[in-house]
A and B are shown apart, each in its own frame.
Chain A
Amino acid sequence: MEDPGEHLLAIVLDTNLTSVVSSGGDAGAVLDSILAFCNAHLMSSTANLLCLTVAHGRENRVLFPPELDDGQSAQAHYELFSQSSSGIVRQLKAMMEAAPPDPQTSAPMAAGLAMSLCFISRVSRERPPHARLQKRVLIVSGQGTVSAQYMDLMNVFFTAQKLEIQVDACVLGAESGVLQQGADITGGVCVRVPQPRGLLQYLLWAFLPFGEQRQKLALPEPPVVDYRAACFCHRQLVSVGFVCSVCLSIFCKFAPICSTCHTVFKVKGMSLPKPSKRKRPKQGL
């Protein structure tokens, strides 16, 4: 199928692959798969663009397209491939050497995602107005997300929704609720990979096609996206709770005075619980 438009794929990679390693996998193989996937994307069409952002430790760095031209290109290699392979590999190694990933802290995924969105906007602005640029973001993460980045991630997801950029997620470890929500918000696909060895296959199958082709394919969908809110007192997810009508803060137990806005709620006789609506799964936003 002729698709004259350009395709821009932005990959945000979390280098904290400790979950893979601790379960006996090989981080190198994972990185191999990702590299191969990048090359596959670049090979599909000369008009394809790639942006690889790596979230490592406390920084995000754009590894591809490289800022500086190395000048090293192996012979008999497609220039882009050699650039990508050598450049990315070298920088990854340098980063890993300089600052090993701390298992306690999580990489700034939200920031990395925001950076890739900026890259996408820049590229789309540089294009003439009539050019069709299809853009996508793929998040590859080994650990889902940490609650500290929840709000930032949600903000970025909504931004992507406004920009009409689909955010896909490929999760190597445990299922991640946030990434599922993000994929659902932006219209992307979230896949949890049970076997890291077959990662490349997953990537090629689910995340290579673009735009209209995706609608014609049967891609995996998460069963129920967990949109439950967290109560303000314990930060636990609640499905049935109490919402203050003044400040909209959510509580899991009834309290006659809202602790945020100090509104007094009149109670008729016994404290009648006013349960909030259970959030429907996959509800439109």
Chain B
Amino acid sequence: MTTTEDILLQVNNVRHKKSDGTLFLMSERIGWLMGSKDTFSVSYKYADIKMQKISPDGKAKIQLQVVLHDGGASTFHFNSPDGEPAQRADRDKVKELLQTLLPKFKRKVNKELEEKERLLRENPSLLQLYQDLVITRIATADEFWAQHASEFLNKTNVKQDVGVSGAFLADIKPQTDGCNGLKYNLNVDTINSIYKTYPAVRRKFFEYVPGRMSESEFWTRFFQSHYFHRDRINLSSKDLFTDCARQDEKVIQQELQEELDDPMLDLRRMTDSTVGDGYGSDSSAVGVGQTNTATVSMIRRFNQHSINVLKASLTPEGAAAAAATPAKPQQNGQSNGEASSAAPPAERDPAAKRARLEERTCYEDLEAAPPSAGQPLSLTKVERYLSGPTPDLAQLGSEPPSASAARRLRENVLHWRPFTNKVLDPQTAVSVLGDLSPGGALMKTSHKDRNASADLPDHVKTELAAIYRSAGELLRHFWACFPVSTPALEEKVAKMEDTLHKFHQLKIQNFEDTVCRQAGLGPEVTAHLNQMLSAAYAKYESWRSLRRSLQR
């Protein structure tokens, strides 16, 4: 043992991992030397030790366990031959020394580091990422925690207070303790819950304890009191919780009077019936005034309990405004009047109210889409839109009237005597009529579009109609053959083509030659017919050439 350390304590007969040895406590570390060895088999720095544990008193072995920061633990068994008390004495000595030494060397636990380690343990994917990036030096650890794992870190920042369980009082299960005694287990948590829910009890506690009675006695009285019973019918005056009861009464009256500050909440609309309005039984107001006072009071107590539980789980911000916050956890009890009044003003703020109203009444997707802003139009030289075209001078034909013409006009009018001459002489009238009748000079252009059928003599018309009928039938058969898909259709097409030609030769030519010439009509009578036939011929030709090219 070539150390320069001071040995603070040396304990013999300490077994570690089933071998005997000596336990040394030095100034900076604890070490265990196996009996036959020279050097420490096991040594831990105090800085590495997180805590120590001792075995409970009832156990046979007297052991001390040292838990390290990284989770490892080693157990030392004190096996002094002097017997159990000596062993215990040894162990206690070690324990106390360690207790004094450990705080000195207690490493400033980096809470964050612990947190990170926990995260890494819990999320294997994050661990994998960490290993990939940090261990391979792609990113430094800081970068890793800043970028990749930032969302994990943030989650744990907001700490939520554990709320009060609604049934906590029922969970305190009494245990029968032999004969006729009941044992209630009260944790600190339970006590805190009771305080949160019944702040009056807390006040009483401070009043009576530790001055007048002990803690356990207080709680005993608490459980015994009728305050705690289901039916608070008999309230004995000796009971120290009677004014709690009275206080509660007062409180609930006040609650009833205080209006519910949320205008949006309408409890009366909440019914259990799933049938819609107007169907089935009417959902009129529930009958008021039950005569059974016991049930009424019980219901009232239930309601009050619920109110208290709710209030107890309000955020601590409401109680932050309360005065005199003791070291105990914050209470949002009604004892703090400010707490309850801190919340309503926030609601009554008109902006907040409006926001809530809007949230309830407006549906964003039902509103019209906002009109898109168009591009502004800037126009110059607007007068160009307003003036008409300058007529071509060539169109005018005649020269612009001269001043002499104006003079002549004036004289004409001044010397004019109406109806001295004939206004209209017959020849002029007739020539004008000629102009204006169909086919005349002024009517020529309008006549082109007109159907010439009005001019045809009747027999020509009937014959033309007959030709049209038959031609139409033939053409219909012809065009129905396309597209040609089967050999039968091919034959039919060829046949139709032939027929059309024949028809053309015989009928139409005949018609044109004889009848039209007789009537003096030009070829435009049959122009349309010829057009249809030529279209059919062209189609046939194109189809034939296509077939020939395909066959080759």
Residues in A whose Cβ lies below 8 Å from that of B432: 195, 198, 201-202, 205
B425 neighbours in A (Cβ, 8 Å): 197
Given A202-B436, A247-B379: A147 touches B389 (CB 8 Å cut-off): yes
- Provide the residues of chain B in CB contact with A100, threshold 8 Å: 406-407, 409-410
Is A265 close to B, CB under 8 A?
no
In A81-133, the 8 Å CB interface with B consists of 85, 89, 92-93, 96-97, 100-103
Any A CB within 8 A of the CB of B402: yes
Taking CB as reference atom, which chain A residue is nearest B415? A28
* CB neighbours of B414 from chain A (8 A): 93, 96-97
- The 8 A CB mask of B360-397 against A (1 = contact, 0 = none) is 00000000000000000111111011111111100111
Q: Name which of A29, A151, A177, A218 has the most chain B CB atoms within 10 A of its CB.
A: A218
B391, A147: Cβ atoms closer than 8 Å: yes
Enumerate A187-201 residues with CB–CB distance to B below 8 Å.
191-192, 194-195, 197-198, 200-201
Please measure, in the bound complex, the distance between the C-alpha atom of A100 and the C-alpha atom of B401, giving whole angstroms.
13
Nearest-neighbor residue (CB-CB) of B399 within chain A: A22
User: Does any Cβ of B come within 8 Å of A260's Cβ?
Assistant: yes
Selected from B407, B408, B428, the residue in CB contact (under 8 A) with A195 is B428
**A249 proximal to B (CB < 8 A):** yes
- Contacting pair B384 A249 (CB below 8 A): yes
B256 within 8 A of A: no
* B158 contacts A by Cβ under 8 Å: no
Contact (A18, B405) CB under 8 Å given A36-B419, A96-B410, A223-B445: yes
Q: List residues of chain B with CB within 8 A of the CB of A205.
A: 432-433, 436
User: In the complex, are the beta carbons of A247 and B377 less than 8 A apart?
Assistant: yes
**Pairwise interchain contact B389-A174, C-beta atoms closer than 8 A:** no
How many contacting A-B pairs (Cβ < 8 A)? 184
Tell me if B424 is interfacial: C-beta within 8 Å of chain A. yes
Interface assignment of B279: CB less than 8 Å from any CB of chain A: no
Among A20, A149, A228, which residue has the most Cβ atoms of chain B within 10 A? Answer: A20
Tell me whether B72 is interfacial, beta carbon within 8 Å. no
Considering only CB atoms, which chain B residue lies closest to A92 in the complex? B413
Whether A236 pairs with B390 at a CB distance below 8 angstroms is yes
- Which residue of chain A is the closest to B375 with respect to CB atoms? A246
A32 touching B436 in the complex, CB below 8 Å, given contacts A147-B391, A197-B428: no
CB distance from A249 to the nearest CB of B (A): 7
User: In the assembly, what is the distance between CA of A100 and CA of B408, in Å?
Assistant: 10
| A235 in contact with B398 (CB, 8 Å) | no
Q: A29-B421, A201-B424 are in contact. Are A89 and B416 (CB under 8 A)?
A: yes
Give A174 Cβ to nearest chain B Cβ, in Å. Answer: 5
User: In whole angstroms, what is the CA distance A212 to B424 when docked?
Assistant: 27
Asked if B446 contacts A223 (CB within 8 A), the reply is yes
* B403 on the A face (CB < 8 A): yes
Choose among A21, A144, A259 the residue that contacts B405 (Cβ–Cβ < 8 A). Answer: A21
Question: Is the pair B405, A201 in contact by a Cβ cutoff of 8 Å?
Answer: no
Report the bound CA distance from A17 to B418 in whole Å: 17
Q: Which residues of A contact B327 (CB under 8 A)?
A: none
B278 at interface by CB-CB < 8 Å: no
How far in angstroms is the closest Cβ of chain A from B136? Answer: 52
The smallest C-beta distance from B376 to any residue of chain A, in angstroms, reads: 10
Known contacts A27-B412, A201-B433, A22 near B405 by CB under 8 Å:
yes
B488 on the A face (CB < 8 A): no
In this complex, how many residues of chain A approach chain B with their Cβ under 8 Å: the count is 71
How extensive is the interface on chain B, given as a class? 35 or more
A260 touches B406 (CB 8 A): no
Bound-state CA distance A201–B12 (Å) is: 151
A101 surroundings in chain B (CB, below 8 A): 406, 409-410
Kindly provide the distance from the CB of B377 to the nearest chain A CB, expressed in whole angstroms: 6
Please give, as numbers and ranges, the residues of chain A lying within 8 Å of B436 by CB-CB distance: 202, 205-206, 220
Chain B residues closer than 8 Å to A223, beta-carbon distance: 445-446
Q: Given the complex, which residues of B lie within 8 Å of A195, measured CB to CB?
A: 428, 431-432
Q: Which of B388, B402, B407, B408 contacts A147 (CB 8 A)?
A: B388
| Given A202-B436, A260-B380, A18 and B387 contact (CB-CB distance below 8 Å) | no
Interface set, chain A 1-46, CB cutoff 8 A to B: 15-23, 26-29, 31-33, 35-36
Q: A260 is contacted by which of B384, B387, B409 (Cβ under 8 Å)?
A: B384
**In chain B, what residue has the closest Cβ to A35?**
B418
Contact at B380–A262, with CB atoms within 8 Å?
A: yes
User: In this assembly, does A173 line the interface, its C-beta being within 8 Å of a C-beta of chain B?
Assistant: yes
Pick the contact of A261: B377, B412, B431 (CB < 8 A). Answer: B377
Residue B443 at the A interface, CB < 8 A? yes
Pair A103/B412 contact, Cβ less than 8 Å: no
Minimum CB–CB distance for B424 against chain A, Å: 4
Partner of B401, one of A15, A22, A31, A228: A22
Q: Are A19 and B398 closer than 8 Å at their CB atoms?
A: yes
User: Does A148 lie at the interface of the complex (its beta carbon under 8 Å from any beta carbon of B)?
Assistant: yes
Whole-angstrom distance between the Cβ of B63 and the nearest chain A Cβ: 90
- The contact string, 1 if C-beta is below 8 Å from chain B, for chain A 211-247, is 0000000101111000011101001110000000011
| Interface residue? A208 (CB, 8 A) | no
B423 on the A face (CB < 8 A): yes
The answer to whether B446 and A259 touch across the interface, beta carbons within 8 angstroms, is no
- Would you call B379 and A260 a contact (CB within 8 A)? yes
A150 at the interface (CB under 8 A from B): yes
Q: How far is A174 from B398 in the complex, measured between Cα atoms in Å?
A: 8
Query: B531 → chain A, closest Cβ, in Å?
Result: 23
Cβ of A154 < 8 Å from any Cβ of B?
Answer: yes
Most buried by B among A32, A222, A223: A32
B419 CB to nearest A CB, Å: 6
Q: How far is the CA of A177 from the CA of B446 in the complex (A)?
A: 17
Judge whether B423 and A33 touch: CB under 8 Å. Answer: yes
Contacts of B391 in A (CB 8 A): 144, 147, 177
Interface centre among B390, B413, B424, B445 (most CB of A within 10 A): B413
Please report the C-alpha to C-alpha distance between residue A102 and residue B153 in the assembled complex, in whole angstroms.
Answer: 96
**A23 touching B398 by the CB < 8 A rule?**
yes
B438 within 8 A of A: yes
Q: Nearest residue in B to A250 (C-beta to C-beta)?
A: B384
Which B residues are CB-close (under 8 A) to A237? Answer: 389, 392
Say whether A262 contacts B407, CB under 8 Å.
Answer: no
Q: Are the C-beta atoms of B398 and A259 separated by less than 8 Å?
A: no
B413 touches A93 (CB 8 A): yes
Q: Which residue of B lies closest to A222 (CB)?
A: B445
Q: Are B409 and A21 in contact (CB under 8 A)?
A: yes
B457 within 8 A of A: no
CB nearest to A25 among chain B residues: B412
Query: In the complex, A243→B398 CA distance in Å?
Result: 34
Contact string, B463-484, partner A, CB cutoff 8 A, digits 1/0?
Answer: 0000000000000000000000
B contact residues around A97 at 8 Å (CB): 410, 414
A221 to B450 CA separation, bound complex (whole angstroms): 12
28 contacts between A and B (CB under 8 A): A17-B409, A18-B401, A18-B405, A20-B409, A21-B405, A22-B398, A28-B413, A29-B423, A35-B419, A101-B409, A102-B406, A103-B400, A103-B401, A143-B401, A147-B390, A150-B389, A154-B388, A197-B424, A200-B424, A201-B433, A221-B445, A230-B388, A230-B389, A232-B384, A236-B392, A246-B377, A247-B377, A247-B379
Which A positions have Cβ atoms within 8 angstroms of B? 15-23, 26-29, 31-33, 35-36, 85, 89, 92-93, 96-97, 100-103, 143-144, 147-151, 154, 173-175, 177-178, 191-192, 194-195, 197-198, 200-202, 205-206, 218, 220-223, 228-230, 232, 235-237, 246-247, 249, 259-262
Given A22-B399, A92-B413, A102-B406, list of 6 further CB < 8 A pairs?
A: A22-B398, A27-B412, A97-B410, A174-B397, A232-B381, A232-B384
